[in-house]
Structure 1
């Protein structure tokens, strides 16, 4: 007598080779409609002592009109945000690319010299002391701006959220070579599962308020 369980297993294994047509995930990509941009929400920094501003991977070798014009366009917004954050005495952290230095950060958002600095790949928590530095200051919320959006911003914001920080992303302060990189990053952060989306707020720099 045939073993029914064995027959079922054989049938399942045979299905992909039985000539039955199966939908191809990749074939569906061409029909995907771009989703609308996620809603941006105003943010009020009520506890500056426990809030930090993270400026990720700004470097004149890539943040220029030839390589990444959107990065150049973002600099005035970031400069304004940085100025207001400094007035409110927020902790400021700069991350550097593998070849960057503080001297190559665009002058309009240049470091003063007493900020914390980390160097890593797309995840600025990986193999750095970023989490330790933030927690030693009692930081509970991080405001993030950076380039590239689908690199340093996406992975650092996601990792910060997973580590229990509240994350505010200044979307006019994140840039990619293509606008789709910026939109896709915003969409992923707004819709990501596993504790990311609920800890992330998308906003723009002018919608972030500080104590007077």
Structure 2
């Protein structure tokens, strides 16, 4: 029995040592691969024609806390473009819906993106469909396409756009009206939206001047 126990313990120790050596080596190899990855080419953009009766513009978290000049200067720089898109949308009687996160209030929204009239507001985390009536609002209005713009490309824009696509909506994302702390996050978001399973068939990337 003593010999069997010693042999068993030796086998366990040997196996543990092998696993201990294999784990970090594999992880290090993967990390090295990531460090050498070259980003793919920027995703292609498309001209987009919107049907005002079935399109909603989702203005995602354009409050001063999330669209801040120190942390996301590109967000502040895109505000004139946001104002231009909203002016066009309102002129064509499109639905406009605003979102906020955290402790932000409508008073915190930048003037260029401020709510008007009876435009709806929902508050949630990165996915604005979770624990809100956003989907019901869209269904009740007969919306088929959502245009997602916002302060956090890799946050609210990515997750809300993906969630909309998974719910059967068509999604348009103007890449010059989403921002992040880094251009990498913006590029990754765009790539993900048109390459991830079930998203590419519903998501179109565009830019402000290509929207009609």
Higher strand share: 1
Residue 62 of structure 1 and its aligned partner are, at CA, apart by 3.1
Q: Which residue of 1 aligns with 2:137?
A: 133
Contact 2:100 2:122 in 1 (8 A): yes
CA shift digits 1:96-148 (9 cap, x unpaired): 11111111110012111411110000000001000000000000000110120
Q: Which has the larger radius of gyration?
A: 2
Provide the residue aligned with 1:7 in structure 2. none
CA RMSD of aligned residues (A): 1.8
Partner of 1:39: 44
Matched, 1:17 2:18: yes
Equivalents in 1 of 2:26, 2:150: separation in Å? 41
Aligned mate of 1:207, from 182, 200, 210: 210
- Residue equivalent to 1:80: 84
Going from structure 1 to structure 2, the CA distance change for 1:96 and 1:30 (only over 3 Å counts) comes to same
Report which of the two has the higher share of helix: 2
**1:198 is matched with which residue?**
201
Structure 1 gaps, min length 5: 1-13
TM-score, structure 1 length as denominator?
Answer: 0.86
- Indicate the residue corresponding to 1:28 in structure 2: 33
Partner in structure 1 of residue 6 of structure 2: none
Query: What is the CA deviation profile of residues 76-100 of structure 1, one whole-angstrom value per residue up to 9, with x for unaligned ones?
Result: 1111011000001000000011111
Once the two structures are superposed, the pairs formed by residues 1-212 of structure 1 within 5 Å of their partners are 17=18, 22=26, 24-45=29-50, 47-193=51-197, 195-209=198-212
Q: Alpha-carbon deviations, 1:10-69, whole Å to 9, x = none?
A: xxxx7x938777573222111010211101100011x21111000001111232321210
Match of 2:201, SS state, is: helix
Aligned partner of residue 79 in structure 2, secondary structure? helix
Question: Residue 142 of structure 1: SS of its match in structure 2?
Answer: strand
Query: Is residue 66–residue 152 contact of structure 2 (8 Å, CA) maintained in 1?
Result: no
Aligned residues: 194
CA distance in 2, matches of 1:87, 1:25: 51
Name the TM-score, length of structure 2 as normaliser: 0.86
